């Protein structure tokens, strides 16, 4: 038995001796050298989180040698700052937040230019969804004056959207009765308890928080007129929230939308960047199963209007598939 064990040890040692130069040169990856992919998402009651969970599972299952986790965050602005610091490998973020991050817009929450950011894909649009309780009497943006409104976490992508929409409507936070900086779920709980009149939520259609609210009390969706959206300009586009998206919503509601992006950083290897892009599109049905907002992810549009440079791995995928 001892001789057999000794022969196995010598054979293993010889194999490692032969492989060692190749391991050092990166030609052979040791089995224990897993790469870690942290997916930065958003609040658990939003759309980023379930899609982040699905994406982490796809990457863990489909990319060899990769371990994953999904991290709940305050979404766009926090995600981009975490990427710059190397504390995540891929993140969901709103287009205007990505643009401000690349410019280093301090008012938007970026102390300096986030020059390490790189693009993976344009995904689905976030719809600006302003919902009030019917008993608040709010029917238009002008009616928000003097009312209590939640605008999302401070300096989040949602709050940046809120600032843009209110400014275009000629409103400032000072014009409101009260401003709350709360995540989607907490905003809805306050509305259920009659402690808040309205909430502005920037998310994919059918977001869980507003669906929950619509089943709990009569709601009023507040329109963002197309001419007001045009006044804000790019990256905002005019769209509608289709009738029946939420309980009690019997008509289409005009609003604005902003494209979401998946963003990484320049410290992520070209191969991992390539695989993250490829596996996203190879497994879109799994993303749609996690949340129907993902049904609006279109490969043909994925490399368009990217606010930051494409990651070399993503660029390779788009060239390979004829999308770039």
133-191 pLDDT per residue, tens: 999 999 999 999 999 999 998 888 899 999 999 999 999 999 999 999 999 999 999 99
pLDDT for res 29: 38
pLDDT for res 34: 82
- Determine the average pLDDT of the residues in 246-266: 96
**pLDDT bucket at 278, cuts 50 / 70 / 90:** very high
Query: What's phi and psi for 268, nearest 5 deg?
Result: -80, 130
- Determine the average pLDDT of the residues in 112-118: 98
Q: Rounded distance, CA 291 to CA 250, Å?
A: 22
Q: Whole-number mean pLDDT of the chain?
A: 90
- Determine the average pLDDT of the residues in 262-268: 98
Taking 3-state DSSP, the helix, strand and coil percentages for the chain, each rounded to the nearest 5, stand at 45, 20, 35
Detail the DSSP E strand segments found in 104-207: 117-133, 148-150, 178-180, 198-203
pLDDT for res 178: 97
The torsion angle over the Cα atoms of residues 23, 24, 30 and 34, rounded to 10 degrees, is -140
Among residues 257, 245, 284, the alpha carbon closest in space to that of 201 is found at 257
207-218 residue pLDDT tens: 999 999 999 999
* Res 12 pLDDT > 50: no
14-41 residue pLDDT tens: 343 433 333 333 333 333 358 999 999 9
* Res 3 pLDDT > 70: no
Residue 197, token pair as written in the block: 């009149």
Among residues 89, 165, 100, the alpha carbon closest in space to that of 126 is found at 165
């Amino acid at each position: 038995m001892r001789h057999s064990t000794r022969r196995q040890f010598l054979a293993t040692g010889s194999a490692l001796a032969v492989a060692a130069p190749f391991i050092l040169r990166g030609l052979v990856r040791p089995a224990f050298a897993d790469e870690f992919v942290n997916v930065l998402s958003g609040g658990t009651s939003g759309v980023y989180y379930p899609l982040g969970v699905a994406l982490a599972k796809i990457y863990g299952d489909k990319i060899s040698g990769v371990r994953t986790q999904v991290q709940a965050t305050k979404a766009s602005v926090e995600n981009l700052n975490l990427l710059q610091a190397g504390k995540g490998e891929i993140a969901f973020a709103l287009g205007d937040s990505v643009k401000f991050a690349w410019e280093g817009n301090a008012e938007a929450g970026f102390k300096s230019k986030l020059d390490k950011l790189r693009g993976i894909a344009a995904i689905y649009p976030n719809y600006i969804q302003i919902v009030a309780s019917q008993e608040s009497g709010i029917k238009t943006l002008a009616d928000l004056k003097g009312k209590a409104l939640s605008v999302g976490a401070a300096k989040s992508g949602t709050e940046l959207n809120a600032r843009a929409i209110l400014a275009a409507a000629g409103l400032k936070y000072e014009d409101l009765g009260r401003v709350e900086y709360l995540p989607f779920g907490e905003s809805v709980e306050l509305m259920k308890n009659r402690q808040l009149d309205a909430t502005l939520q920037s998310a994919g259609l059918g977001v869980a928080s507003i669906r929950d609210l619509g089943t709990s009390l009569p709601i009023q969706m507040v329109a963002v007129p197309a001419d007001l959206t045009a006044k804000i300009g790019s990256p905002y586009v005019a769209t509608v929230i289709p009738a029946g998206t939420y309980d009690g919503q019997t008509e289409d509601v005009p609003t604005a939308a902003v494209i979401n992006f998946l963003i990484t950083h320049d410290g992520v290897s070209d191969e991992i960047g390539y695989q993250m892009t490829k596996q996203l599109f190879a497994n879109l049905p799994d993303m749609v199963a996690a949340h129907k907002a993902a049904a609006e992810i279109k490969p043909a549009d994925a490399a368009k209007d990217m606010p930051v440079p494409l990651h070399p791995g993503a660029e390779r995928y788009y060239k390979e598939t004829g999308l770039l």
